[in-house]
Amino acid sequence: MNGPPGVQDGFARSAGRQLLLIAVVSVVGIALLMFGLSWLSGGARISKGIDAATGTVTLALADEPPQLDSTRSTDTISGMVLGHVTEGLIRNGDGGKLLPGVAERWEITETGATFWLRPDARWSDGKPVTAHDFVFAWRKTVDPKTASEYATIFFAIRNAEAINKGQMPLTSLGVQALGDHVLRVELIRPIPYFDKLMVFKSFNPIREDFFNATNGRYGADADTLLYNGPFKITRWVHGAHLRMEKNETYWDKARVKVNVLDFPYFSSDPNALINLYKDGKIAVAGLNQENLNEALVKRWQINRFQRGSVAYMEFNHRKGRPTANLHLRKAIQLVVDPDEVVYRVIKLPGNLPGRSLFPVWLDGVEGKFREEYPAKKIVPDPIEARRQLALAKKELGLNKIPPLTMLSDDGALGDKLTEYFQETLRRELGLEIRIDKQIFKQRLAKMTAGDFDVVLAGWNPDYPDPLTFADLFASWNSNNRGRYNNPKLDQLVAVAQNSTDVQTRMDAFGEIQRILIEDPPMVPTYEPGVVFVVDPRLKGVVRRVAGSDPDYTNVSIVEK
């Protein structure tokens, strides 16, 4: 110690005062700098959710579309963007009705279909959309070199399956252009929902000369994509910003009432999105269970939408997996309570307890399918479940079921659901569950590789017909990732695929539903729904079960 204490105290005090001064000055300085920079940049980057003066609607995307090539697109985000910037032969109208798109009129028979294209349909570079563009795109999708996941959706068209397997040349595909404006399709089996199928993105046109000019970069950037839909992409900064403007060459541009759809935010974080909505920076935001009450207290206009998909627990049937055992699957089925999942764990309206692979909205013979063919409700029964578990152990020759891997993805529900199932299966059956949480893509890859015992999966319908769900567990379906193999079910799927008689088809679906409940290759958990808030000035946001969702093509801005 040097110097008397008094001197040191004085020194410390003045040093402290100086430090405090520096701290305050730097904090104030940084704050001023930030405000200054924001002011210098004109505050232009701070968007408004609704700008009536320029006709701009600002929204958020959950993520950036991986790419926008309709022959290879499989995800819902690129599907949504494609639904705004391109148009197929037929488009979705209100209330499940179909409206003419590029095709003015069409005729569908059991052996084929003919589409008469409107002469005023134009690409964004001014050239007309012709039947050749459809022929090119469809051939491209079934081309084995494209390796499109949706090639199977074309298999009802003549020679599509053989072409996809590399056994026939591309030109043999049963689709041809009779002149520029007539498209003729040959079918090998009748498809009762063929018109609904035409709305699907894989059937959209692509112009050959433009596609070839992009050197394999088609759909990778704003300028390597040609637009024939209500909007066109004018700006696409990868990972940051996507901007759509009204397409002036669109044949029905009168129905487009806003000039710009701006997506400056790519985020799937519900809290971030709801904060943006609160600040008036975006016009639509999803709500989660955590901010539901706040939305109610603030008296926001809340909308509810049933996605039309189903979420379920799928088992792995590969050799050596304990879940290949029927009794173990039954034991798990008997302790999973979809009521509790929805009412006590998910707690969001719009979600429905899962009872069947077929969601409630599907049409049956006359009314709704699920009313005509009610699914047997599984009442949770822990005592019976434990009996089934004992049988499973006996059959497997095990004293204890080895730890089961539960594969899931980082969806909006977070770990809530997986942890709930983990604890329920531990408490009721003494099963040890290891949670394998992956991102969505990786979850699919692991499912395909069979690297799981149980997976929390789901299915979005591709077209509004029960078949989109029914063939999921057919042995030949590449989406049957648990390798479930039941010849009886395969036969029923074939019946439904090859018939046009509604009663026969629905009976087959009813039987498939029964098999799926009695021999559970999967246990339905819930039918997902969403709750979202929409800026009261924005009208005409449409949510769709199949096809591009959400649909902003008809939105308009109404000043209060």
Partner 1 sequence: MTPSNPNLETTIDDFAPLAAEQRRQQLSRPSLSYWQDAWIRLRANRRAILSLYIVIALLLFTLLGPLLWRVDPSAQDLDQVSRPPGAERMITLAAPYRSWNGEAVLPTATGLRLAYPASTQSVRLIWDPAPGAAAYRVYRNIVPTLPGESLGLPIAQTLTGTETRYEDRLDLRAETYFYTVVALDETGAELTARQALSVDPVAVITVAEARSRGLQSASGPLKIGDKVRFKLHPLGTDYLGRDMLARLMHGARVSLFIGIVAPLLFVGFGVAYGSMAGFLGGRVDQIMMRFADFVIALPFLLFMILFKIAFGIGPGQSGILPMIVALVMLSWPGTARLVRGQILQVREEGYVNAARLLGARTNYLVMRHMIPNTMGVILVTLTFAVPSAIFTEAFLSFIGMGVAPPTPSWGGMSNEGIKSMLIHPHELLFPAVLISITVLAFNLLGDGLRDALDAKMRSRE
Rounded to a whole number of angstroms, the minimum distance from the CB of residue 321 to partner 1 is 15
Considering only 131-139, 192-200, 344-352, 545-553, which stretch makes contact with partner 1 by CB under 8 A?
A: 344-352
CA–CA dist 491, 503 (Å, integer): 17
Q: Decide: is 278 part of the binding site for partner 1 (CB under 8 A).
A: no
* Helix, coil or strand: residue 397: coil
CB 523 within 8 A of CB 300: no
CA–CA dist 386, 456 (Å, integer): 22
Q: Which of residues 293-332 bind partner 1 (CB under 8 A)?
A: 293-294, 296-297, 299-304
* x-marked contacts with partner 1 along 4-33 as a string, rule CB under 8 A: ----x---x---------------------
Of the two residues 343 and 440, which places its CB atom closer to partner 1 in the complex?
A: 343
Q: Decide: is 339 part of the binding site for partner 1 (CB under 8 A).
A: yes
Candidate residues 110, 125, 415, 501; the one interacting with partner 1 per rule CB under 8 A: 415
Q: Count of residues binding partner 1 (CB under 8 A)? A: 51
Burial code (b: 16+ CB inside 10 Å, e: under 16) for 106-137 equals bebeeebbebbbbeebbbbeeebbbbbbbbbb
Q: Decide: is 106 part of the binding site for partner 1 (CB under 8 A).
A: no
CA–CA dist 432, 487 (Å, integer): 32
Q: Decide: is 347 part of the binding site for partner 1 (CB under 8 A).
A: yes
CA–CA dist 310, 354 (Å, integer): 7
* Helix, coil or strand: residue 445: helix
What is the sign of the dihedral through the CA atoms of 237, 238, 243 and 247?
positive
Rounded to a whole number of angstroms, the minimum distance from the CB of residue 360 to partner 1 is 8
Q: Decide: is 368 part of the binding site for partner 1 (CB under 8 A).
A: yes
Candidate residues 405, 468, 513, 548; the one interacting with partner 1 per rule CB under 8 A: 405
Cα 174 to the center of its chain, rounded Å: 30
Considering only 55-63, 120-128, 208-216, 409-417, which stretch makes contact with partner 1 by CB under 8 A?
A: 409-417
CA–CA dist 202, 410 (Å, integer): 27
Candidate residues 177, 188, 260, 435; the one interacting with partner 1 per rule CB under 8 A: 435
Residue with tokens 């799927």: 493
Candidate residues 349, 380, 450, 540; the one interacting with partner 1 per rule CB under 8 A: 349
Candidate residues 326, 345, 474, 534; the one interacting with partner 1 per rule CB under 8 A: 345
CA–CA dist 481, 483 (Å, integer): 5
Of the two residues 211 and 532, which places its CB atom closer to partner 1 in the complex?
A: 532
* Helix, coil or strand: residue 488: helix
Q: Decide: is 271 part of the binding site for partner 1 (CB under 8 A).
A: yes
Strand partners, 435: 406
Rounded to a whole number of angstroms, the minimum distance from the CB of residue 450 to partner 1 is 14
Q: Which of residues 456-475 bind partner 1 (CB under 8 A)?
A: none
Phi, psi (rounded to 5 degrees) for 367: -100, -140
Q: Decide: is 63 part of the binding site for partner 1 (CB under 8 A).
A: no
Whose CA is closest to 260, among 549, 557, 58, 46? 58
Binding region for partner 1 (CB under 8 A): 8, 12, 94-95, 271, 288-294, 296-297, 299-304, 339-340, 342-345, 347, 349, 368, 403, 405-407, 414-416, 418-420, 422-424, 426-427, 433-438, 531
